[in-house]
Amino acid sequence: MKVIIAIVVIILLTIGIVWLIDKFVPKKLKPIVNIVLWAIIIWLGFITFNSVYKDIKFKKTKIERYKVVIDRLIDVRDSQLAYKEVNGEFAGDFKKLISFVDNGQVPITQRRDTLVLDVERTAAFGGVETFKTITLIDTLSFYSVKDSIFKGSDRYKTMMNVGIGKAGAEFTLKAGKLDEIPVFEASVDKSLVLDGEDKYLIEQERQAFSVAGVKGESVKIGSMEEVTTNGNWGKDLTIKE
């Protein structure tokens, strides 16, 4: 759409200038004016093309970078869910989370109901045996977090790294409770992900709230303000889930 608008503007501008030249410029000066006019048109065309091309290139770059970041955030989320299953809460720092992935064993359990003697009710009924149903949880075996989530890869050891954009950039990891429910959030500011691109375009992207893109100033998964383990991006940006 931007390209079409730009072309229409240039065409209208050219028509207007040509009309003005034909109407008011003396014939002797017209060749010189025409040369200047063509120079201006070419210059305007270049500026317009460069502006549109920069937007197109930026869009392609940001999508490529977001996909790398989102893949890493999903690794963090999966590791946190395994951590919570064992510890009842989320990890608040990457050192603790990575150590858990490296050594953690998650139990595979089975729930079953069984009848047992209700001692209190039996006594209350003068010795007449009364039973109650209770649920037992049996541990059948354990599975390795490392093998289950990362399947032989050691990328979990660097899961704190953003992996693209500003050199050395790391995710911010938080964990806590919201109304006694464990929550976590892993995030990175878009300016770090898009480092090296035009500052105006980066700031514009930080203000974006598109449903299809990444909403807000950062790329994040989880939240410290609501109970969720989802990311703030659209499905079209997710390679794995």
Please report the sign of the dihedral spanned by the C-alpha atoms of residue 67, residue 185, residue 91, residue 109: negative
**Residue boundaries of the structural domains of the chain:** 2-54, 55-237
Please give the backbone phi and psi of residue 125, each rounded to the nearest 5 degrees, phi first: -95, 25
Q: What is the pTM of this model?
A: 0.69
Confidence (pLDDT) at 48:
66
Distance CA 38, CA 145 (A): 67
Confidence (pLDDT) at 170:
97
> Which pLDDT tens digits describe the chain residue by residue (241 residues)?
555 566 666 667 777 766 666 666 676 766 776 677 777 777 766 776 666 677 888 889 999 999 999 999 999 999 999 999 889 999 999 999 999 999 877 665 567 677 777 777 777 777 777 777 777 555 555 667 888 889 879 999 999 999 999 999 999 999 999 999 999 999 999 999 999 998 989 998 998 776 668 988 999 999 999 999 999 998 766 655 5
Please give the backbone phi and psi of residue 238, each rounded to the nearest 5 degrees, phi first: -95, 125
Q: Pick the closest to residue 79 from 51, 102, 48 (CA basis).
A: 102
14 exposure class (CB count in 10 Å sphere: 0-12, 13-18, 19+): middle
